């Protein structure tokens, strides 16, 4: 029986509802650019950053 992935929880307020945004992070010299997925807590607006959708959470 496969286990369920852990529910994403805000580390500040414990909320489990998030707004999802996509963003880019450029290096200091502009040579590299990294795709980011941002999860923004709908209660306290704390932002969780995930690099290129690779994390312990599966949002798709």
Sheet containing strand 47-51, strands side by side: 18-26, 33-41, 47-51
Q: Please give the Cα distance from 10 to 22 (Å, whole number).
A: 18
Give the tokens for residue 56. 């312990």
Domain borders along the chain are 18-51
pLDDT digits (tens, 9 = 90+) for 27-54: 777 777 778 889 999 999 999 988 764 5
DSSP letter for 56, please.
Answer: S
Cα–Cα distances in angstroms (integers) from residue 30 to residues 25, 38, 55, in the given order? 9, 21, 25
Counting residues of the chain whose pLDDT is more than 70, the rounded percentage is 78
Q: What is the pTM of this model?
A: 0.69
Cα–Cα distances in angstroms (integers) from residue 12 to residues 4, 6, 15, 32, 40, in the given order? 23, 17, 8, 31, 12
């Amino acid at each position: 029986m496969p286990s369920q992935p852990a529910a994403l929880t805000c580390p500040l307020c414990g909320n489990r509802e998030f707004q999802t945004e996509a963003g880019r992070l450029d290096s200091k010299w502009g040579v590299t650019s990294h795709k980011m997925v941002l999860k923004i807590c709908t209660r306290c607006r704390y932002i969780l950053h995930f690099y290129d959708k690779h994390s312990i959470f599966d949002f798709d």
